Structure 1
Amino acid sequence: MEASIFFVIVGAVAVAAVARWRGWPAPLLVTVVALAASFVPFVPNISIDGHVLLNIVLPPLLYSAALDVSFVGFHRALPQIRRLGVWLVVVTAAVVGLLAWWVMPSLTLPGALLLGAIVAPPDAVSAASIGRRLGLPRRVMTVLSGESLINDATSLTMFRVFAAILAGATVTVWGGVGQFLLAVGVGMLVGLVFGVALHQLRTRVDDAVVNGTFGLLAPFGAYAIAEELLGSGVIAVVAMGLFVGFNAPKTSYATRQQEAPLWLSADFLLESFVFAYIGLQLPRVVADLTEGEGGPIVTLSVVVLVAVLVVRPLFVYPAGAWGRWWTRMRLRKWERLASAPGVASAQVRLRGRRPISEDQLRRRLTETRLSWRDNAVISWAGMRGVVTLATALAAADLAGLDARAADAIVVVAFVVTVGTLLLQGLTLPWLIRALGVVDDTEREEDARELLAVRERNRDAGKAYLREMRRTWADRHGADQLPAFDAFAKRLVRVEADAEQAEAKARPTAEQFTALAKGWLAVRREMLLEERRAGNLSEEVMRELITAMDAEELALDTRIALRT
């Protein structure tokens, strides 16, 4: 079994590498190749328990995705993310459940709703890979990524509720809502505890290897403990990832540089295996169809596949219109409050927080505006993935579900997963190009923002150098000012000859190293302040901090070579 899994992983990684080399969407190619390979006699037919698959694959993939999501963008798009990640999952589960019960009454209503919960959550891995390659706007990518971070929690909570009903427990609607709120609350608490602990470790321990190792372990711990406490492991991992990612600029540059390639490799490995595993389940599906009554199950699979394709756009457009109406109502409410006698607009308070300006108020209350083209892409980016297949495999062990119903659920989950991957995944690039949904405007705005913040960043660095120069002569003697000025020019003008600057600085290398690191620290703090003030997007800030990390790495490398 272990050898079979190893060879499957190697093959999947090789296919994914070819896809990356050719610029093709790797998840789709891996799935197609795995489907074809499943007919080859010597290809192993591996089977992993659904619970084990979720516990191994889901935590690191969720955590890595949360690290890369802009917390500011996530917070601003939260109304849209919440509608897609919670309410769309509930609506999809209900529609699919009722249709499945009508097509195959032997499933029973709880079993049909269980099937609905299984196929409801999309997996944004495929959509994200296609979107990044084709340059989808950041506003669309944020919504898709944010949805994928929370919809699994909704689906898995519903799965637990309907599994309990199948086992004979009495669960009311309010009881189900209570379980969901408990799962979210406990998950957020566990995730924040782990996030704070991991962040403290990353800021206090100056060892990138140790920090990276604990970063690999933390998602599994947060997921397992939250699930043990009847919380949502998904929410725990997402909360931890958002907290750690938001505070990542406060850690050492070595930790950030160690972390990025580590998680890129982990994602590449896990995603390749997951989509290969999905494709290799075809023999099991064929066996389930030949052993049982294939006709009704095939009909059910087609009906459910059509339902998940249709429900999403039918939900996205009305939900978007409702969101725009709700935004207008909120703005009118706070405008009336701001214009009340004796209340200046700058003194408006939002939920008891400190006073904010009218512009800041509008920014916080206004949803990210999505055009009908953006919503068309979001409507068609509903590919299913590992959560759907893993929960279907886990359903086979549930009490109260007979073998025929379990086989039907596995077959339907497989058809929906592969069907959406191929139908939507292969046509999504064409749709994006046909509608012209690209981020040209955002790129221009980022360029302007980058130019402006670089100027302010340089000014902050120069102010620090001027302040240090005034005390330099007192600390080290006036004869050191020429060397200070030469090194300061090297810091401000990165195109200067590094060897010449180093030679002048050599007599006081430790002092000049401290000066350079202080100069970088002041500039990083300035970027964090700009982000806090809402003047700088997180994506642009990360780009600038990455450049500063490279500067600090070059500085430390020169010091190591000198010693």
Structure 2
Amino acid sequence: MGASLLLVAVIAVAVAALCRRYGLSSPLVLVTVGLGIGWIPELPSVALEPELVLFLILPPLLYSAAQESSYQAFRANWRAIGFLAVGLPLVTTLVVGYVAYLVVPNLPLAAALVLGAVVAPPDAVSAQAIGRRLGLPRRMMTLLGGESLLNDATALTAFRIALAAAVGATATVGEGALTFAVAALGGLIVGLLVGVVVSWVRVWLTDPPMETAIGIIVPFATYYAAEELHGSGVIAVVTAGLYLGHRSVRLGYATRLQDEAVRKSIDTILESFVFLLIGLQLPMLIDGVENESWTQIAIDAAAVLAATILVRIVWVFPATYLPRLLSRRIRDREPPPTPASVFVVSWAGMRGVVSLAAAFAIPVYTETNEPFPARAEILFLTFVVVVGTLLIQGTTLPWVIRFLGVSGDEHAQDRLAYAAAQDRASREAERRLDEYAAELTDDDPRRLQVVMLRKWVTTQRNVAWEELGRGPEDLGESPTSAGARLRTEILQIQRAAFIAERDAGRIDDEVLRIALRRLDFAEGQGDRDT
């Protein structure tokens, strides 16, 4: 099994690399490749293990997304995020479950609601990737990101309640609400405690490799601790990630740079792995329903897929506009969203690996040792919803965004805000340099350092203001850009010279690594300045 998972990971990363190289949508290509590989004879099957997804893949992805999220934006849009992350999964559970109860033969209502809860949480990884590439407005990206952080907790809690009823355990509406409240509160407390402790430890250590190592362990430990205490592991990881991301300004620059590089690498591997794993599940799922009527299965799949897509559209529009109609405070505080932007959010409902993991977690037998009703059909229908939404909504979402003309103009606003902030920061730095220079005599050699630092601070300010008048269509090279290009060429010449010295045997590899590290930092600093 370990060798098979390693092979899946290698293929996934290779396919993802090709997709990034040629500008293709990685999730869609990976699922398609997985579908093709799954039918190759003699290849060992790779079953999706729920524990693998829920304990090893979901926590780091949630943690990374939470760290990259804005706590301020999250707080400012809590109402809209709540409608998407709490209200929509519950409504989807009920609507899709009832549709499945009506169309799937011999499917009890409790088991149908299990299916509804399984397909309730959208996976916004691909939607956010498309949105970033096409320049969706920041508020829409905040809503999609906030939804993806919390909807898993809602859906998985609903899944547990529906599953308890389906296997014969008692579960009332009141008990379900209490379970959700306890899980949410427990996850929030655990996440905050972990965030506070880890933040203090990382600042106290001042050891970048160890700080990053702790950061890698945090999502797994947080998720496990919350689940063991009957809290929501998802909410705990998200809370810890938001807190630590907000407090990351207290870390050293080396830790922040290292954290970002490690986090993005891990995200790339895990995201690629799970989408390829989704495609590989088809053959074994078909084996589970091979004795059923394919005409009936096609009708069931079409009905459940349509209900899953439509319930999101029907929910998002009223949830967006009704609060504005009922509250003048909301109308005065928030600009009215356009119908086009609302439709884009409603269309970004692709499902992912969490749905399949929950489906595979359905037990084979109930509390009375009876086979779980229509388990094979639920697994297959979940797969159809996941792949169907990825292929239908995922492939058309870029076209929908372009056709409706939904885009943000935050880039220009960000450059203006950055230039103004950089100007204030530069003036503060120049004031300190003037104070320091006033303490030096005219022949003090430290004056040269003050002059060099002044030039560097001035360059930072000039670059920020130059960028305001330069868009992607401006092909001319600014004076600062020309200087940065020359600086890079000089660094490359020095790097080649050090390598030649090593090759000639005049320095060893350890000296070369020291030299390259210093040149790399210098080149990185030049990239950040421009």
- Calculate the TM-score normalised by the size of structure 1: 0.79
Contact 2:364/2:372 (8 A) holds in 1:
no
Matched residue type, 1:492: V
> 1:413 maps to which residue?
382
For 1:417 and 1:17, the matched residues in 2 are separated by 23
Contact 2:167/2:372 (8 A) holds in 1:
no
Is 1:323 paired with 2:323?
yes
Contact 2:118/2:359 (8 A) holds in 1:
yes
> 2:242 maps to which residue?
242
Q: Deviations over 1:49-107 (max 9, x none)?
A: 21332111100010011111111111112111110000011111000111111123522
Matched residue type, 2:410: E
Is 1:426 paired with 2:395?
yes
Contact 1:76/1:368 (8 A) holds in 2:
no
> 1:489 maps to which residue?
454
For 1:414 and 1:557, the matched residues in 2 are separated by 47
1:199-214 → structure 2 map (5 Å cutoff): 199-214=199-214
Give the direction of change, closer, same or farther, for the CA distance of 1:165–1:137 in structure 2 (3 Å limit).
same
For 2:523 and 2:398, the matched residues in 1 are separated by 43
> 2:69 maps to which residue?
69
> 1:466 maps to which residue?
434
Contact 2:323/2:330 (8 A) holds in 1:
no
SS of the equivalent of 2:143 reads helix
Give the direction of change, closer, same or farther, for the CA distance of 1:398–1:330 in structure 2 (3 Å limit).
farther
Q: CA deviation at 1:121?
A: 0.6
For 2:291 and 2:47, the matched residues in 1 are separated by 18
1:221-300 → structure 2 map (5 Å cutoff): 221-300=221-300
Matched residue type, 1:80: A
Contact 1:469/1:484 (8 A) holds in 2:
no
Contact 1:292/1:404 (8 A) holds in 2:
no
Give the direction of change, closer, same or farther, for the CA distance of 1:36–1:481 in structure 2 (3 Å limit).
closer
* Unmatched segments (≥5 aa) in structure 2: 461-479, 485-517
> 2:422 maps to which residue?
454
1:26-37 → structure 2 map (5 Å cutoff): 26-37=26-37
Q: CA deviation at 1:467?
A: 3.9
Contact 1:31/1:276 (8 A) holds in 2:
yes
For 2:51 and 2:145, the matched residues in 1 are separated by 24
Is 1:376 paired with 2:350?
no
For 2:225 and 2:41, the matched residues in 1 are separated by 41
Q: CA deviation at 1:225?
A: 0.8
> 1:151 maps to which residue?
151
For 2:421 and 2:525, the matched residues in 1 are separated by 27
Contact 2:349/2:389 (8 A) holds in 1:
yes
SS of the equivalent of 2:269 reads helix
Deviates more, 1:319-328 or 1:126-135: 319-328
Matched residue type, 2:451: A
Is 1:122 paired with 2:122?
yes
Q: CA deviation at 1:325?
A: 2.9
> 1:91 maps to which residue?
91
Give the direction of change, closer, same or farther, for the CA distance of 1:227–1:143 in structure 2 (3 Å limit).
same
Matched residue type, 2:406: V
Deviates more, 1:55-64 or 1:103-112: 103-112
For 1:135 and 1:419, the matched residues in 2 are separated by 25
Q: CA deviation at 1:114?
A: 0.9
Contact 1:297/1:411 (8 A) holds in 2:
no
Q: CA deviation at 1:15?
A: 0.9
Contact 1:139/1:368 (8 A) holds in 2:
no
Report how many residues are paired: 470
For 1:485 and 1:48, the matched residues in 2 are separated by 61
For 2:284 and 2:132, the matched residues in 1 are separated by 34
Contact 1:80/1:323 (8 A) holds in 2:
no
Contact 1:77/1:368 (8 A) holds in 2:
no
RMSD: 2.6
Give the direction of change, closer, same or farther, for the CA distance of 1:257–1:397 in structure 2 (3 Å limit).
farther
Matched residue type, 2:197: A
> 1:358 maps to which residue?
none
Matched residue type, 1:459: R
For 1:373 and 1:158, the matched residues in 2 are separated by 31
Matched residue type, 2:339: W
Contact 1:223/1:234 (8 A) holds in 2:
yes
Matched residue type, 1:19: C
> 2:360 maps to which residue?
393
* Unmatched segments (≥5 aa) in structure 1: 332-361, 499-549, 559-563
> 2:412 maps to which residue?
444
